[in-house]
């Protein structure tokens, strides 16, 4: 009689082990896909970055960290990094600040605010290549509508995409226009979760509209601001499609991003070892900046 509970306990333990083990069958397809299409290419690119790996050659000489050393002495890389940094900083700040302002104005649910939300969000669902081609056509000095409208009102338009002074600012403006709708929607959803009681209490204490925004709205938006800032920063550091379709990195490399330079080295000149080193340096930069942002904008329940 005394052995019956022990046997039953062992059976239950065996059943739990079987259920635990069978769970691996359900996640196996995802693990395999991640391993084949993400983990293996990452490891392979790290290995290639340590070699003089050129497409078409039968042997690939091991060069250690020479690709990284050459990279840090490459003036074109530093120029691409500067362009990427300027674009990322401008677009990240611009789309978060502008998205916050638009979300504040469209917080109330009315028919025209719903229409404006849709209008602001619509560019985000279009691909960057499509957006780049459309704006390249609109800014064309011969047939572009923007230049035609400015000429009609007596303003002489610059050569937006061929001027070394205007090309990068133009791409930045298009980048903000493309992504501000996403930031607006995320911040708007977070705003609508703030209890009206908090605003009423602040108003009873004599807080004005700016004080209510600063002391009630902004603290409540901290997780959403962290999320949108991270997404904007990572997206900006990966800049490629927009400059590829609008300027192709010109004029004279004034809009060439790190990923654009990586593309040329890897898929035009076929220097895959050097391109892999570029990819790893960019990965470390994104990781470091993301870690700093998480540290500075970290959110805790106690906050």
The string of pLDDT tens digits covering residues 186-209 is: 999 888 888 777 777 877 777 777
Q: Which long-range contacts (CB under 8 A, 24 or more apart) does 126-132 make?
A: 126/178, 127/241, 128/178, 128/241, 128/242, 128/245, 129/241, 129/244, 129/245, 131/174, 131/178, 131/242, 131/245, 132/174, 132/241, 132/242, 132/243, 132/244, 132/245, 132/246
* Residue 18 predicted with pLDDT over 60: no
The string of pLDDT tens digits covering residues 144-173 is: 899 899 888 988 888 899 999 999 999 999
Mean pLDDT, range 133-150, rounded to an integer = 90
Between 228 and 212, where is the model more confident?
Answer: 228
Q: 64's torsion region: left (phi>0), alpha (psi -120 to 50) or beta?
A: left
The string of pLDDT tens digits covering residues 34-63 is: 998 889 988 999 999 999 988 877 788 899
- pTM of the predicted model, to two decimals? 0.87
**CATH, domain 75-296, list 3.40.50.300, 1.10.3720.10, 1.10.10.10, 2.60.120.260:** 1.10.3720.10
Ranges of each domain in the chain: 75-296
* Residue 268 predicted with pLDDT over 80: yes
Between 294 and 73, where is the model more confident?
Answer: 73
As given in the structure block, the two tokens for residue 210 are: 């700016």
Question: Could you tell me the pLDDT band of residue 104, with boundaries at 50, 70 and 90?
Answer: confident
Mean pLDDT, range 133-143, rounded to an integer = 91
- The pLDDT, as a whole number, for residue 1 is 47
Q: What percent of the chain has pLDDT over 90?
A: 50
- The pLDDT, as a whole number, for residue 5 is 62
- When the pLDDT of each residue in the chain is averaged and rounded to a whole number, the result is 87
Q: What percent of the chain has pLDDT over 70?
A: 91
């Amino acid at each position: 009689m005394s052995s019956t509970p022990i046997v039953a306990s062992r059976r239950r333990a065996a059943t739990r082990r079987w259920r635990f083990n069978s769970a691996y069958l359900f996640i196996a397809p995802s693990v395999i896909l991640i391993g084949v299409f993400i983990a293996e290419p990452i490891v392979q690119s790290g290995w290639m970055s340590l070699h003089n790996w050129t497409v078409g050659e039968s042997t690939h000489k091991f060069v250690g960290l020479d690709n990284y050393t050459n990279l840090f002495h490459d003036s074109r890389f530093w120029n691409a990094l500067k362009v990427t940094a300027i674009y990322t900083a401008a677009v990240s700040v611009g789309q978060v600040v502008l998205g916050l302002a638009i979300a504040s104005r469209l917080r109330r649910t009315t028919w025209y605010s719903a229409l404006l939300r849709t209008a602001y969000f619509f560019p985000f669902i279009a691909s960057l290549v499509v957006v780049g081609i459309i704006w390249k056509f609109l800014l064309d000095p011969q047939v572009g509508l923007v230049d035609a409208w400015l000429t009609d009102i007596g303003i002489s338009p610059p050569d937006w995409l061929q001027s070394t002074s205007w090309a990068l600012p133009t791409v930045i403006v298009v980048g903000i226009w493309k992504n501000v709708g996403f930031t607006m929607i995320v911040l708007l959803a977070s705003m609508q979760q703030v209890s009206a009681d908090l605003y009423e209490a602040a108003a009873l204490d004599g807080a004005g509209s700016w004080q209510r925004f600063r002391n009630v709205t902004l603290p409540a938006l901290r997780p959403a601001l962290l999320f949108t800032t991270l997404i904007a920063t990572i997206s900006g550091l990966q800049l490629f499609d927009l400059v590829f379709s609008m300027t192709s990195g010109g004029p004279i490399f004034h809009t060439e991003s790190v990923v654009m330079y990586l593309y040329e080295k890897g898929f035009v000149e076929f220097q895959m070892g050097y391109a892999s080193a570029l990819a790893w340096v960019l990965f470390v930069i994104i990781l470091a900046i993301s870690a700093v942002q998480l540290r500075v904008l970290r959110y805790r329940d106690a906050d």
